[in-house]
Amino acid sequence: LKLCDLGISTQRSVEDSTETAITRTSIGTLIYMSPEQNTLAARSKYSSQTDFFALGLIFAELCIAMTVPERTKIFNDYRQGIQCDRIANAKTADFVRKLTQVDPRNRPACREMLDNLYLA
């Protein structure tokens, strides 16, 4: 499975040794946006942890049979820090929980993701 992010909605920069992005357009799929993107704050800064939130939603979507209205509610719950209890596998549920933390600073960094045994 490969996922692709075209990066057409952001401009990347490096600040204090941390890669960040500044929102430039309203391009993006609202249902997969992280809490920090979904606030629609002008020129919100975010990093790869924002992409990891979307990845967590995609993992949840792959693991939970849900209707479109259920998906909207479940994804909105994740954005508010409410975890879904419908993921049967505990390791997968824990992985999704780590990816969908409301505060991006509590999500894994790129190095942690590369070293994560769940993805091995």
Q: Given this model, what pLDDT does residue 15 score? A: 67
Q: Given this model, what pLDDT does residue 50 score? A: 85
Question: Which pTM does this prediction carry?
Answer: 0.80
Q: State how far the Cα of 48 lies from the Cα of 51, in Å rounded to an integer.
A: 5
Q: State how far the Cα of 93 lies from the Cα of 99, in Å rounded to an integer.
A: 10
Asked if residue 118 has pLDDT above 50, the reply is yes
3-state DSSP assignment of residue 11: strand
For the stretch 81-90, pLDDT in tens is: 999 999 999 9
* AA letter at 57: L
Q: State how far the Cα of 47 lies from the Cα of 20, in Å rounded to an integer.
A: 5
**Closest to 16 (Cα-Cα) out of 50, 43, 47, 41:** 47
Least confident of 24-38, 49-63, 68-82: 24-38
What's the pLDDT band for 51 if we cut at 50, 70, 90?
confident
Average pLDDT of 93-110?
94
CA 85 to chain centre: 18
Q: State how far the Cα of 120 lies from the Cα of 116, in Å rounded to an integer.
A: 7
